[in-house]
Amino acid sequence: MKLLDQIRLGNLTLKNSMVMSAMTRSRADINGIVGDLHIEYYTQRVSAGLLITEAINISEQAIGSPFTPGLFTEEQIKAWRKVTRAVHDNGGIIVAQLWHTGRAGHSVDRKGVLPVAPSAVPITAMKHFTSQGLRDYEIPRTLTSDEIKQIIKDYGQAARNAMAAGFDGVELHSANGYLPNQFLADNANIRTDEYGGSIENKSRFVLEVMQELIDAVGADKVGVKLSPFHPYGDILFDNPTATFSYLIGELNKLDFAYVELMKRSPAFPVPDYPEDDEIELFGKQLKQVVIANSGYNKSSAGAELEKGIAKLISFGTLFLANPDLPRRFDKDAPLNEPDRATMFGGGAEGYIDYPFLKW
């Protein structure tokens, strides 16, 4: 079966086509430092062809939620180095997902500082998970163009820090309503400067960050995650097909490792959007390797690879609950069920205690 076959991704040889997608688990300490639990969690999952870390804050300003890790202090880098070393010693490959939350944060977990965003437009369709419980989102502060240039540099520095921490690559988190997605979205970005207005201008931030990452660590070590039709985080487009077709056309001019395409979740329907399958629609336009994501199981993942558009499939919740997912697929073994109550925050429970197959 293709899913379990060895495959090349840039300069890397992956042991199979199964990727663990990024999953925030909110178990870092208050300084954004990862520890022994993280070493264990990622090492347990090295049978994935590629591991993508939980989203990692690129700077203090990027932080939106409590107990999420960072990659901008010496201590944070040193701590991640222990994770990457353990993963490599056990034959795994691991990429760091780079995160700026933009307006998707709250001042209670930002030392009293308001979140920043392309425009002063708050998220209203949902509430935020904070250390003080669920809170309404605040009106974010609009970024100046100098601050935008600084954030782009922060992404570059975080990517260099990821290399210093021993990661095999970096993934720009441009999905799920975080800062890059906010720049792209028509309802979150009402700027009138070079970063707002037209589709070209709204795409500029993502493209400049991608160029910065490529310059920082080399094209073969850079990927990006996009979620074109997924409205999570109050993200809406007048014409998502036009926006993402333009963005993909420009991304195609850059030479980098992969695009992880996350399909919409049925839990967040947008009636006005096209019915198209995102992998068919956008995957076909991409020159880079496509990693298909969202809602896949063994049979739908196999069928997706057979279509020939995506080369790899990423799994979130299934890897969360099944550290030995490739082996379980190989043996057609039953799967552990993910426990929603322990997904975010806490300790070992629901993190490193999902059982491995006994046979």
Size of the site for ligand FMN (CB under 6 A): 21
**Are 62 and 147 within 8 A, CB to CB?**
no
Asked whether position 295 contacts ligand FMN by CB under 6 A, the answer is yes
Alpha-carbon gap, residue 16 to 3, rounded angstroms: 6
Torsion of CA 206, 169, 294, 103, to 10 degrees: -40
Q: Which stretch binds ligand FMN (CB under 6 A): 129-137, 186-194, 210-218, 292-300?
A: 292-300
Which residues within the stretch 126-145 sit at the binding site for ligand FMN (CB under 6 A)? none
Nearer to ligand FMN, 87 or 261 (CB): 261
Within 13 A of 328's CA, how many CA atoms are on the CB side?
Answer: 21
Asked whether position 225 contacts ligand FMN by CB under 6 A, the answer is yes
Which residue spans within the chain are E strands per DSSP? 7-9, 12-14, 18-20, 50-57, 94-99, 116-117, 128-130, 133-135, 141-142, 169-174, 222-226, 258-262, 289-293, 312-315
Nearer to ligand FMN, 9 or 191 (CB): 9
Q: How far is the CB of 175 from ligand FMN (least distance, A)?
A: 5
Q: Which stretch binds ligand FMN (CB under 6 A): 121-129, 241-249, 315-323, 351-359?
A: 315-323
Per-residue binder mask for ligand FMN (CB under 6 A), 256-275, x = binder = ------x-------------
Asked whether position 122 contacts ligand FMN by CB under 6 A, the answer is no
Per-residue binder mask for ligand FMN (CB under 6 A), 144-183, x = binder = -----------------------------x-xx-------
Annotated catalytic residue within 42, 137, 155, 178: 178
- Give per-residue burial for 159-186: e unless 16+ CB within 10 Å, then b: bbbbbebbbbbbbbbbbbbbbbbbbbbb
Binder among 21, 57, 76, 189 for ligand FMN (CB under 6 A)? 21
232 is catalytic: no
Widest pairwise Cα distance in the chain: 60
Nearer to ligand FMN, 159 or 175 (CB): 175
The DSSP code for 3 is G
SS3 category, 39: helix
DSSP H or E run through 49: none
Asked whether position 315 contacts ligand FMN by CB under 6 A, the answer is yes
Kindly state the tokens that stand for 307: 């279509």
Binder among 10, 18, 54, 169 for ligand FMN (CB under 6 A)? 54
**Are 123 and 103 within 8 A, CB to CB?**
yes
Asked whether position 336 contacts ligand FMN by CB under 6 A, the answer is no
Nearer to ligand FMN, 6 or 300 (CB): 300
| Catalytic sites, residue numbers | 178
Residues that bind ligand FMN (CB under 6 A): 21-24, 54-55, 97, 173, 175-176, 225, 262, 293-296, 315-318, 343
